[in-house]
Structure 1
Amino acid sequence: MSELDMDFLLGAEDDEGRGRRSRGSGRRGSRRRRRRRNRGGFIAPLLAVIILVGILGGGGYFGYQWLSGALVPDDFTGQGEGEVIIEIKDGQIAAEVAAELERQGVVASARAFTNALESAGKSSQLQPGQYTMRKRMSAAAAVARLDSTNRMVSRVTLKEGLRLSDTLAKLAEETGKPAKEFQTAARNVRALGLPRYAGNKLEGYAFPSTYDVQPKTTPADLLTSMVDRFHETADKVGLEDGAKKLGYTPGQIVIIASIIQAEAGRHEDMPKIARVIYNRLNREPEMKLEMDSTVMYALNKYGTAATHEELKTPSKYNTYMWPGLPPGPIANPGEHALEAALKPARGPWLYFVATDPNSNVTKFATTEAERQALLAEYRKNGG
């Protein structure tokens, strides 16, 4: 920089001005002092501009690297290598996930990942679960890999009407976890969140549905999820209020629903089967329910018709021998059965017979003579 330029920056005056400086006073001296102060205030920003120009212009390539490095975060390229398991926990925000990915060496920097996430429009779409990732992935590749369709899950579907013993066996088979672990978790009923009217028994409350099972999901976690799903369905169908209106407890409604589930071949027959059960329970004098399904449950057998020998079992679940409802549910009913128990069809029926085992058609009767006719039809169809 030349001496002339430096004089300008420092607010130097010409010789005449310098000669008059000691004599200056009053208004003119004040104006000169303000000018000198203004020129001094201009120095700092001007020097900053000169330095920046020097970095970008005079510094050339190194200046560009300094500036771009401050704005563009570190990032790997490609799909990465190796394998690492990343878990996104429920409630985690994107910044927390990004920090964990950087810590595990999946991405070069958390900032690169959050930038890629925002660019893809997925800032709020990270789903809890476990994912198989790679080391040294580009941020864009990591975002694509964390799609919910790539979660490490197995899916288990439990059909309506399974007994608890069958449910536990199915869970063990589908998840690969030991059956003993499920049996132990099922016995620890206090940890499962059962409703107060369940009588500390899981049977009837392991709700049938489809469940996603992650590698870290324990048998207790899964059974708790099933009970939670029961609570949700019970609220949906209005179980407690509906039971009160019918003059029963919620637990009794679940027992009735389990019988409906075990006896019905089709959803459309459920409300009529419910009506048969209520008509028998409310009849004066009360009729025994005489449901083969409860007898077979007592004997740990399967089938729709108990033999004369089987009907001799003294179990409280033998509704041919004991009046009223059995002491607990005989299966895990689904939503349709619960709704049918709460909203039975209107009608005088006291009997029902599955007249065609192949089509699952159920027919209803009011008198014993009508029932015998239905039984004849059942036998004619190979029953």
Structure 2
Amino acid sequence: MNDLDMDFLLGAEDDDGPPRRRQAGSRSQQRRSRRRRKRQRRKGFAATLFAIVIIVGVLGGAGYFGFTWVRGVVIPKDFTGPGTGEVVVEIKDGATATDVAQMLEEQGVVASARAFVNAIGAAGKSNSLQPGEYTLRKAMSAEAAVALLDPKNRVLNRLTIREGLRLSKIFTELSTATGKPVDDFRKAARADIGLPGYAKGRLEGFAFPATYEVNPKFSAEQILTAMVDRFNQTAEHIDLEGQAKQLGFTPRQVITIASIVQAESGSVQDMPKIARVIYNRLTRNPQMKLEMDSTLMYGLNKYGIAASNADLQSTSPYNTYKRPGLPPGPISNPGDHAIEAALHPADGNWLYFVTTDPARGITKFTDKESEFWKLRDEFNRNHG
């Protein structure tokens, strides 16, 4: 091999050297570059992953709170179970289910008014709430609260029995107040409820009108017994038996007179005068009948202040147009004023009275039959 060939080989080797060194350097740089890119990609991936986690967390939290909010709107807060302790709540007259719900929430009985409204609506009792006091518990479920607000669970219900009501009407009002059937009171009236002997086993006239605290859990007999007890207390206080004897009448007759006075009077002021008319008709002229529309209507089971010709033909023992003397017994349940008037009638010779203006409660009295017919004409003009 000549020198030229050697130079060529050496040159070739020299020429190959630098490129190999550049190539080696380039690969190192490439490796470093690749490592940098990998690190950057890892950092970028980590950042992206972190951002995704943050976004998912935010969206998840928003979703949770959104779900919680929606659930709170759609499914209102409600306690579970029967609750604890005791609280007496009062439903006012005219209160709606919404009014009651708000009151129960404010008193801590139910968790939310909406829960109670939903529960009472589901039970179909939105319109069945009745005024009165009820014993409930704190933190009870709305469903349990609805169950305890049944009218039968009322603690006390103040019931005022007005003067002059017939027994049939009293039974109806007691039934409404307690939820008990009217027939329960009819049966109880025949039981041993403390009637005085002179009542002869008949409650009419002796169910004393007053305000009573009626518990729906009381039996019909207990309620009627309380009313008779009130009558007996009044009779003892005024010495009904002693005063009746002084008048020459029995206690039953006095209460019968009082019941007529109660039914016929347009005002308390007229009661002693009407009582005097009754006594005058019974004692001064034995041939004169009472001729009271109130007794006739009672016997016919009707109401009214003017009897018709057909009414006057009644064969009832309460028809005082046909039968002399007092009717068989009281026609209503008189109050204090009527009983007082029957025991202490006014002084006077009156034999007639006519309520000439029923709208204003004006009653006029006379002892002359001719004047009576004039008063009747005045009544017909005002009543017609």
TM-score, length-normalised on structure 1?
0.61
- Aligned partners of 2:321 and 2:293: how far apart in 1? 8
Q: 1:215 to 1:168 in 2, by over 3 A?
A: closer
Partners of 2:179 and 2:216 within 8 A in 1: no
- Aligned partners of 1:156 and 1:371: how far apart in 2? 40
1:246 maps to 2:247: yes
The one of 176, 185, 201 equivalent to 1:173 is 176
Q: Could you tell me how far 1:361 is from its partner in structure 2?
A: 1.2
Equivalent position amino acid for 1:304 in 2: I
User: What is aligned with 1:117?
Assistant: none
1:182 maps to 2:188: no
SS of match in other structure, 1:309? helix
- Following superposition of structure 1 onto structure 2, how do residues 13-28 of structure 1 map, counting pairs within 5 Å? none
User: What is aligned with 1:163?
Assistant: 166
- Aligned partners of 2:370 and 2:334: how far apart in 1? 32
Q: Map Cα deviations across residues 175-196 of structure 1 (whole Å, 9 max, x no partner).
A: 22221211111122xx110001
User: What is aligned with 1:377?
Assistant: 378
SS of match in other structure, 1:341? helix
Identity %: 57
1:82 maps to 2:121: no
Q: Could you tell me how far 1:246 is from its partner in structure 2?
A: 0.3
**C-alpha RMSD of the superposition:** 2.1
Equivalent position amino acid for 2:284 in 1: R
SS of match in other structure, 1:184? helix
Equivalent position amino acid for 2:273 in 1: K
SS of match in other structure, 1:232? helix
User: What is aligned with 2:17?
Assistant: none
Q: Could you tell me how far 1:369 is from its partner in structure 2?
A: 1.2
Equivalent position amino acid for 2:322 in 1: M
Q: Could you tell me how far 1:135 is from its partner in structure 2?
A: 7.4
Q: Could you tell me how far 1:221 is from its partner in structure 2?
A: 0.7
Partners of 1:194 and 1:227 within 8 A in 2: yes
Q: Which range moved further: 211-220 or 275-284? A: 211-220
Q: Map Cα deviations across residues 127-160 of structure 1 (whole Å, 9 max, x no partner).
A: xxx9736479xxxxxxxxxxxxxx9211111111
Partners of 2:255 and 2:334 within 8 A in 1: yes
User: What is aligned with 2:264?
Assistant: 263
- Aligned partners of 2:207 and 2:242: how far apart in 1? 21
SS of match in other structure, 1:364? strand
Rg (Cα) greater in structure: 2
Q: 1:223 to 1:285 in 2, by over 3 A?
A: closer
- Aligned partners of 2:294 and 2:134: how far apart in 1? 44
SS of match in other structure, 1:347? coil
SS of match in other structure, 1:381? helix
- Aligned partners of 1:330 and 1:167: how far apart in 2? 13
Partners of 1:256 and 1:274 within 8 A in 2: yes
User: What is aligned with 1:141?
Assistant: none
Equivalent position amino acid for 2:314 in 1: T
Q: Could you tell me how far 1:237 is from its partner in structure 2?
A: 2.4
User: What is aligned with 2:208?
Assistant: 207
Q: Could you tell me how far 1:355 is from its partner in structure 2?
A: 0.5
Q: 1:182 to 1:276 in 2, by over 3 A?
A: same
User: What is aligned with 1:19?
Assistant: none
Partners of 1:83 and 1:132 within 8 A in 2: no
- Aligned partners of 1:379 and 1:287: how far apart in 2? 24
Partners of 2:254 and 2:342 within 8 A in 1: yes
- Aligned partners of 2:155 and 2:358: how far apart in 1? 41
Partners of 1:155 and 1:210 within 8 A in 2: yes
- Aligned partners of 2:383 and 2:259: how far apart in 1? 26
Partners of 1:237 and 1:338 within 8 A in 2: no
User: What is aligned with 1:367?
Assistant: 368
Q: 1:219 to 1:85 in 2, by over 3 A?
A: farther
- Following superposition of structure 1 onto structure 2, how do residues 93-242 of structure 1 map, counting pairs within 5 Å? 132=135, 134=137, 152-188=155-191, 191-242=192-243
SS of match in other structure, 1:226? helix
Unaligned runs of 5+ in 1: 1-79, 87-129, 137-150
Q: Which range moved further: 347-356 or 173-182? A: 173-182
- Aligned partners of 1:81 and 1:316: how far apart in 2? 60
- Aligned partners of 1:344 and 1:329: how far apart in 2? 18
Partners of 1:240 and 1:249 within 8 A in 2: yes
SS of match in other structure, 1:363? strand
Equivalent position amino acid for 1:256 in 2: I
Equivalent position amino acid for 1:185 in 2: A
Equivalent pairs counted in the alignment come to 245
Partners of 2:159 and 2:212 within 8 A in 1: yes
Q: Could you tell me how far 1:266 is from its partner in structure 2?
A: 0.6
- Aligned partners of 1:212 and 1:173: how far apart in 2? 14
- Aligned partners of 1:152 and 1:285: how far apart in 2? 54
Q: Which range moved further: 271-280 or 356-365? A: 356-365
- Aligned partners of 1:380 and 1:306: how far apart in 2? 16
- Aligned partners of 2:211 and 2:254: how far apart in 1? 23
Equivalent position amino acid for 2:170 in 1: T
Partners of 2:178 and 2:215 within 8 A in 1: no
Q: 1:85 to 1:200 in 2, by over 3 A?
A: farther
SS of match in other structure, 1:182? helix
Q: Could you tell me how far 1:357 is from its partner in structure 2?
A: 1.1
- Following superposition of structure 1 onto structure 2, how do residues 217-366 of structure 1 map, counting pairs within 5 Å? 217-366=218-367
